[in-house]
Structure 1
Amino acid sequence: MRELVVLGTASQVPTRYRNHNGYLLRWDDEVILFDPGEGTQRQMLMAGLAVTPIKRICITHFHGDHSLGLPGILQRISLDKVPHPVTVHYPGAGQQFYDRLRHATSYWDNAEIVASPLSGARCVVETPAGRLTALPLWHSLPTYGYRLDEPSGRRMVPSRLAEHGISGPAVGELQKAGRLGDVTLDQVSVEKPGQSFAFIMDTGLCDSVFELAAGVDLLVIESTFLTEDAEMAALVGHLTAAQAGAVAHESGVRKLVLTHFSQRYQDPSRFLEEARQSFAGEIVVAEDLGRVPVPPRRGATVG
């Protein structure tokens, strides 16, 4: 199962219909929680999600709408005695905020929480799901965006296996060793492209935005403002829906998820209209408790 569960889509101020930020990525066995804002624990309950599968938490920056839900999530992880370590990635420049949130109140600390502060121009972590890359963004305080890249694999081609008389357990031996006699793995298989995901919040346009988004299958990106307020967006380090659409177009994104909407706008269809001016692909205007599947894997070409 590979899908994004949207827990909250508001920006600075929640509304009657939009909670503060919160996004849970289910990527097979690697479950990652991004930017748990205030109320995330309850939103997970409403979405039918438990904290137990969470393997890591990624914080883009320490504004309240992106991190005030962290204490409740960590305490619930402890209450449920999650048996595996849970790694928390966050900007190291905000260490004092992490420390306060980590132990915001008294509770029995029964879980292994691994702090993983980010620093510098590029941070790369190898995970069971693939390579997790964090790049600094442009905002009013240190902020990082995240990208997950699954490594490419190989898909066996039955007709090629038959040509070489390989079947049954021999197929597994070939996959494991990369060669069986004079037959190599490349001769009987094609590349299976890995999937990719990017998460970009609270930033003005910068090189990292495009690097994170380049060619991803699923891009979750803030679109706090509409073009009518573009001057304000630039001033405070945010994007418009039109800019988010342009990023998706220029970066070759397959599916675009718009989120982090300012409470000043009442009609969400306007975000779609603006993004559609630049991006012709699939666009999702995120709604609380919505589920967005990762697009099907790109097909491998058999020569």
Structure 2
Amino acid sequence: MRELVLLGTASQVPTRLRNHNGYLLRWDDEVILFDPGEGTQRQMLMAGLAVTPIKRICITHFHGDHSLGLPGILQRISLDKVPHPVTVHYPAAGQEFFDRLRHATSYWDNAEIIPSPVSGASTVVETSAGRLTALPLLHSLPTYGYRLDEPGGRRMVPGLLAAHGIAGPLVGELQRAGRIGDVTLEQVSVERPGQSFAFIMDTGLCDNVHELAAGVDMLVIESTFLTEDAEMAAQVGHLTAAQAGAVARDAGVRALVLTHFSQRYQDASRFLDEARGTFDGDIVVGADLGRVPVPPRREATVA
């Protein structure tokens, strides 16, 4: 299963309907929690999610609405005796904040938590789901966006296998060896593109916003403001819904998920209207406890 669970979609100030940030990406057996803000542990309970499957946590930056839920999540991981290591990625420049949150209160700490700070112009980590890349963004303190890229592969085509007399155990042998006699893997298969996902929070427009978003199947991106407040957005390092839509359009994104909404706007449909003015693809206006499936894999056509 590949889906995004929206645990919280507010920005700095939560509302009656929107909790602070929290996003759980289920990507087969790689489960990643992004930006656990205050209340994330309870939101997971409301969504019917356990902490046990979480393999890694990604923090974009150390503002409270993106990280104050981390202590509760880490303590719950210990309480539930999660049997595997949990890696936490966060800006290296915020090490002091991570250390405080890691041991914010006294508890029986029996979990294997692996700190993995990101820094510099780029940090790349290989995971079971693919390559996780962190790139710096433009905000009031060190902030990183994340991108997950699944490696491509090949899909066997039954008709081509039959035409070349390849069946049974020979199919597996061909996949492993790449060749059986005069028959090559390329002759009986087509490319299977890998899927990709990007997560971009608190930032002004910059080159890395576009690089993170380029060609992804799903883009989760902040749209804190509407265009009427574009000047304020630029001053505080945030995006408007129209800018988020333009990023998705220029990057060739397949599915756009808007989130991190300012409490000053009462009508969420305005974010959709603005983004629709710059992007005509699939758009989801994030709502707490919503679930958004990753778009189906793009399949190569058989020549």
Q: Shorter-normalised TM-score: what interval?
A: over 0.9
Matched AA of 1:64: G
TM-score by length of 2: 1.00
For structure 2, the residue ranges without an aligned partner over 5 or more in a row are none
For residue 180 of structure 1, report the CA deviation from its aligned partner: 1.2
Matched AA of 1:85: P
TM-score by length of 1: 1.00
Matched, 1:249 2:219: no
State how far apart, in whole Å, the 1-side matches of 2:202 and 2:190 are. Answer: 39
State how far apart, in whole Å, the 1-side matches of 2:192 and 2:107 are. Answer: 46
Instruction: Name 1:34's counterpart in structure 2.
Output: 34
For residue 177 of structure 1, report the CA deviation from its aligned partner: 1.3
Instruction: Name 1:272's counterpart in structure 2.
Output: 272
Instruction: Name 1:226's counterpart in structure 2.
Output: 226
State how far apart, in whole Å, the 1-side matches of 2:108 and 2:174 are. Answer: 50
- Alpha-carbon RMSD across the aligned residues, in angstroms, is 0.4
Q: Give every structure 1 segment of 4 or more consecutive aligned residues whose post-TM-superposition deviation is greater than 3 Å.
A: none
Q: Deviations over 1:35-80 (max 9, x none)?
A: 0000000000000000000000000000000000000000000000
Instruction: Name 1:66's counterpart in structure 2.
Output: 66
Matched AA of 1:68: L
For residue 231 of structure 1, report the CA deviation from its aligned partner: 0.3
The count of aligned residue pairs is 303
State how far apart, in whole Å, the 2-side matches of 1:4 and 1:106 are. Answer: 32
Matched, 1:292 2:279: no
For residue 86 of structure 1, report the CA deviation from its aligned partner: 0.2
Instruction: Name 1:15's counterpart in structure 2.
Output: 15
Matched, 1:76 2:53: no
* Secondary structure of 1:256 counterpart: strand
Instruction: Name 1:130's counterpart in structure 2.
Output: 130
For residue 164 of structure 1, report the CA deviation from its aligned partner: 1.0
* Secondary structure of 1:176 counterpart: helix
Instruction: Name 2:239's counterpart in structure 1.
Output: 239
State how far apart, in whole Å, the 1-side matches of 2:242 and 2:144 are. Answer: 22
State how far apart, in whole Å, the 1-side matches of 2:73 and 2:244 are. Answer: 29
For residue 179 of structure 1, report the CA deviation from its aligned partner: 1.2
Matched AA of 1:269: S
Instruction: Name 2:86's counterpart in structure 1.
Output: 86
Alignment of 1:134-149 (within 5 A): 134-149=134-149
For residue 12 of structure 1, report the CA deviation from its aligned partner: 0.2
For residue 203 of structure 1, report the CA deviation from its aligned partner: 0.1
For structure 1, the residue ranges without an aligned partner over 5 or more in a row are none
Percentage of pairs with the same residue:
87
